[in-house]
Amino acid sequence: MINILYLDDELHNLTAFRAAFRRDFHVHVTTEPTEAVRILREQPIEVIISDQKMPTLSGVEFFELIMPDFPDPVRMLLTGHADIDAVIDAINKGQIYKYIAKPWNESVLRSMVNEASMLFHERKAVSDQGEVLLHRMQEARAMALRIQRATDQASSLDANQVAEINKQASEINRLLAD
């Protein structure tokens, strides 16, 4: 199940949201930004939804706040149409993935969350693959180093030694083929 965090100062919104999506997602809700940060630390949150208009700080400000520590979760801003300037700003700075106008449409919101979750996972997969690739690249580099070293030795080798090297090379090729 997708882990969602929803931050809004309006308690009824939280209730309604949880009631709407608890069957589909693993929903975490809170009215307090500090509580939200705590949840982020403890739960593998994939998607964060925040209301823009809150008394202590705005949604965009909240996102800016958590960016350094939690860059991965996909961020979505829930807003009335009055704050369109803030939304534009937020999108341009790449802080949010989507914005959702109030009152929300449940199915649209659901598909958005799903999309966001997919995005999260895709990103995660890409970043995992990148890591594998990086690892392999490092291995290959080490390998290349060994080959170099072997080549250096090979220049002073006899036939037996050459046969031995060839054997090792084929072994490397096999490894690379994996």
Q: Binding residues for other proteins, per CB under 8 A?
A: 10-13, 15-20, 23, 53, 55-56, 80-82, 102-104, 106
**Closer by beta carbon to other proteins, 29 or else 40:** 29
Query: In this structure, are residues 14 and 6 in contact, taking their beta carbons and an 8 Å threshold?
Result: yes
Distance (Å, whole) CA 128 – CA 84: 35
Angle at 130 between CA 177 and CA 1, to 5 degrees: 115
| Pick 40 or 76: Cβ nearer other proteins | 76
Nearer CB in complex with other proteins: 26/102: 102
| Minimal distance, residue 85 CB to other proteins, in Å | 12
End-to-end CA distance of the chain: 34
Nearest distance in Å: CB 82, other proteins:
5
Task: State in angstroms the smallest separation of the CB of 66 from other proteins.
Answer: 20
With CA atoms as reference, report the closest residue to 11 among 35, 37, 42. Answer: 35
